[in-house]
Chain A
Amino acid sequence: MINAVGRDIPEEILKATGKEVFQGVHHFDGHVYKKHGPEVECVINSNGSKMVDSIHDVLVKCGIKDGMTVSFHHHFREGDYVVNMVMKEIHDMGIKDITICASSLGKAHDPLVEYIEDGTITNIQSSGVRGKIGEAISNGRLKGLAIMRSHGGRVRALVTGETQIDIAFIGTPTCDEYGNCRGIGGKSDCGVLSYAMSDAFHANKVVAITDCMVPFPNFPAHISMTKVDYVVEVDQIGDPKKIATGAAKPTTDMRKLMMADYCTQFVVNTPYFKDGFSYQTGVGGASIASTISLAKVMKERNIRMRFGVGGLTKPMCDLLINGQVDALLDTQDFDLAAVESVKDLHHFRISAGEYANPFNKGAVVNKLDFVILAALEVDVHFNCNVVVDSNGMITGAQGGHPDTAAGAKCAIVIAPLLQGRTPAICTDVTTVTTPGESVDVVITDYGIAINPKRQDLIEAMKDVDLPFKTIEELRDIAYSIAGEPQKVQFGDRVVGVIESRDGTIMDVVRQIKPFEFDD
């Protein structure tokens, strides 16, 4: 069945997942549903302790068995030890057919491939996967389906009960014996626990895993003891060096600086750039550079930002230090400066649900004026691909891309015209992750294209001296340089589903196969 972005979703996948095809970003606006709730085992007896000696013991206490769904968060990024630690134990206990529901998985989790191969893990739900897990999925090694969800879409799946987590494992930098978790302090300081907060609300069993026990009460708790069943202390939950890195040195790559400059010029010429505007940006070189150059213009014109959202890095936190923004709303910290900034009174932690869930009574993304995003590919319909690379391999994550693009008044995607030898601006993206109706502007090193449905922005830029082009012109330049790429050839089997944030199917990812030439 063809969906609203023109992708043909196979009937057997609709049947197997019970899902509908994507019908537009606002299709579910006003939709009424009943929230799903988890099982709760009451703790009334005050003699009990929540401390459990080992991962193994806690798995036994939680009643781990074949076919369960276990969840993890990705606040420890490439420094995470928790996923591998827990999955090794589950594997060693001989448990099979596990569904992993992670807010994201990265290269740190390459060891899971072994458990995919032997059937310990048969389904994966994640924002995306990188490294060897991505390769394994794309090569058809996962028995079931990989479901790629946006950060907001994941919370929706938990709230509606589409995904019921049996056991949530929450790595926490500090914890007390009764399960009050904080993202701050300890050896593995990650600042916030936004993605884990939804898991704590919706999982049947919640296990806090820490390498830094503190006396009760570990307050103010980011995740309350009222949600936590057990606490396990281990030697090390992560590698601090990879959890929060030093602030990235601002890029000196002129191509990125140029795109950042175009972006800033565009932003300041929109009607939304006025005192009290709101802004979110990513962690790519061009995004960070555009934040830095935007801060300069804000200072010159005496314009203040009301709130910034992220995925935060130093340049955003510097806005707070320099008094250029009233508040930061934080879902994740990418560097030490951001982790440090969490202690500021005007730096607020928000849950992934508050941030981006389309099925609550209004998420933060809906209040964004600007979001600055990146993409692997953008097509002439402004559809973006951020998950599948030009070989058809799953290699990225949706993250908050579709959520923020849908919510923001002005969603800007920055991409170089050519990613290496491959045109980033193309006729049809390999896989749609963010629908073109959410994407307003595409900025490349060769020019800027405004989505024709945004005639208001086109009008606002009438007298602005920037290299405006149509998206088709950009594609044509790309093709004139690199040639028109042949379509990636896939096998028949669907290995992954790109879920829209509302739970419908945006696209599917098929098993890769070696390229076959015509002659």
Chain B
Amino acid sequence: MFLNAQKPGLIKDPYIYKPDSIMLDMEDAVAENQKDAARFSLYHALKTINYRGCERVVRINGLDTPYWKEDIRCAVAGGCDAIRIPKTESAQDVKVVEAEVVQAEKDFGREEGSVLIMAAIESARGVMRALDICESSERLFRNCPFRWRLHQRPSDTHYRNWNRAHGSKTEHGDRSTSAGVQCFDTVYTDLDDMDGFRQDVENIHLMGFDGKSIINPRQINIVHEIFTPKQKDIIFAEKVVREIDTKKAQGIGVFTVDGKMIDIAFYDGAKRTIELAKASGVYKGDL
């Protein structure tokens, strides 16, 4: 959930709405002449507020601005969990940021490697280099393609421009997955159109995205609802895990569960469903 780092009212307790991750924004939400003030509230928020297990990511200013280095120092000193790089176009961008993060970790006595990196990919060039970017750093754990900027044209409102965005997103998702990096979708900005939002989240969920960026807590429930495994999927996953475990012991490689062919290739997927269900609080079983 994106939150303007400058607004104490927003950043004091967003965890009550149970987002998985909050994105304290130093970039677009903060006016050019307010960056210092925002850094001040960012630092103190990170230092003093107990975000109760909610991941704290800081979106720094672009690498083409004079602000991003100080943003990193402030975020790392405050104790953030991750830095989000806007408009990432190359592996080099990630490496440059990583170097600053390493230095800041040293300067402020944080454990080396404790601050992760997230790359927002917002241009065609970035998409073309997605795999490179994803593999650029051990710290890179997530990327986020911005449909909005990929297809910014006067006549296009990003959320109705599904089909055009679809191709690059699919490809993008594939590249992220192949690099073992989480892939998050961009925001949906029309807060009044909850049906459109739901459709959007359903689509990206089907495409294999790992999560959705949001701009308002009102959007949280829909994302959680769609990403939470359904009971029937959980039951099936549970069967798959148990059957593979038993059959392996019996020396059987391939078999059927509820009429579907199952082999070891399904194991990780089923495990993942169980883990997701646990994280969503809907699985109380013992797997």
Contacts and interface: CB of A to CB of B under 8 A. Distances in A.
Contacts of A446: 16
Contacts of B217: 254, 258
B218 A255 contact: no
Interface string B48-59: 011000000000
B218 A257 contact: yes
A257 B216 CA distance: 13
B40 interface: no
B20 interface: no
A258 B16 contact: yes
Contacts of B50: 480
Interface in B35-54: 49-50
Interface in B11-49: 12-13, 16-17, 49
A465 to B, nearest CB: 8
A445 interface: yes
A46 interface: no
Between B13, B16, B191, B218, the greatest number of chain A beta carbons within 10 A of the residue's beta carbon is seen for B16
Contacts of B218: 252, 254, 257
A413 B118 CA distance: 43
A222 B97 CA distance: 75
A481 B12 CA distance: 9
A252 B216 CA distance: 10
A254 B18 CA distance: 12
B13 A254 contact: no
Interface string B74-113: 0000000000000000000000000000000000000000
B116 to A, nearest CB: 27
Nearest to B14: A254
Contacts of A258: 16-17, 217
Contacts of A445: 13, 16
Interface in A228-259: 252, 254-255, 257-258
Interface string A148-160: 0000000000000
Contacts of A481: 12-13, 49
Interface residues of B, number: 10
Contacts of B13: 445, 481
A446 B50 CA distance: 13
A423 to B, nearest CB: 13
A445 B17 CA distance: 9
Interface in B208-251: 216-218
A503 B7 CA distance: 47
A61 B217 CA distance: 62
Interface string A464-496: 000000000000000011000000000000000
A444 B13 CA distance: 13
Contacts of A480: 50
Interface in A258-299: 258
- Which of A252, A254, A480, A481 has most chain B Cβ within 10 Å? A254
A446 to B, nearest CB: 6
Nearest to B48: A481
A509 B16 CA distance: 35
A254 B50 CA distance: 20
Nearest to B15: A446
Nearest to A257: B218
A215 to B, nearest CB: 49
Highest count of chain A CB atoms <10 Å: which of B13, B17, B191, B216: B13
Nearest to B17: A254
Nearest to B217: A254
A446 B16 CA distance: 7
Nearest to B13: A481
B261 to A, nearest CB: 36
A481 B217 CA distance: 21
A201 B229 CA distance: 64
A481 B17 CA distance: 17
Nearest to B50: A480
A480 B13 CA distance: 12
Contacts of B12: 481
A206 to B, nearest CB: 50
A481 B48 CA distance: 9
A258 B218 CA distance: 9
Contacts of A257: 218
Give the one of A255, A258, A445, A480 with max B CB within 10 A.
A258
Contacts of B16: 255, 258, 445-446
A31 to B, nearest CB: 46
A481 B49 CA distance: 8
A321 to B, nearest CB: 24
Nearest to A261: B221
A314 B195 CA distance: 25
A7 B125 CA distance: 71
Contacts of B216: 254
18 contacts: A252-B191, A252-B218, A254-B17, A254-B216, A254-B217, A254-B218, A255-B16, A257-B218, A258-B16, A258-B17, A258-B217, A445-B13, A445-B16, A446-B16, A480-B50, A481-B12, A481-B13, A481-B49
Interface of B: 12-13, 16-17, 49-50, 191, 216-218
Ranked 10 nearest A-B pairs via Cβ: A254-B217, A445-B16, A254-B218, A254-B17, A446-B16, A252-B218, A258-B17, A254-B216, A258-B16, A255-B16
Given A254-B218, A258-B17, 10 more contacts: A252-B191, A254-B17, A254-B216, A258-B16, A258-B217, A445-B16, A480-B50, A481-B12, A481-B13, A481-B49
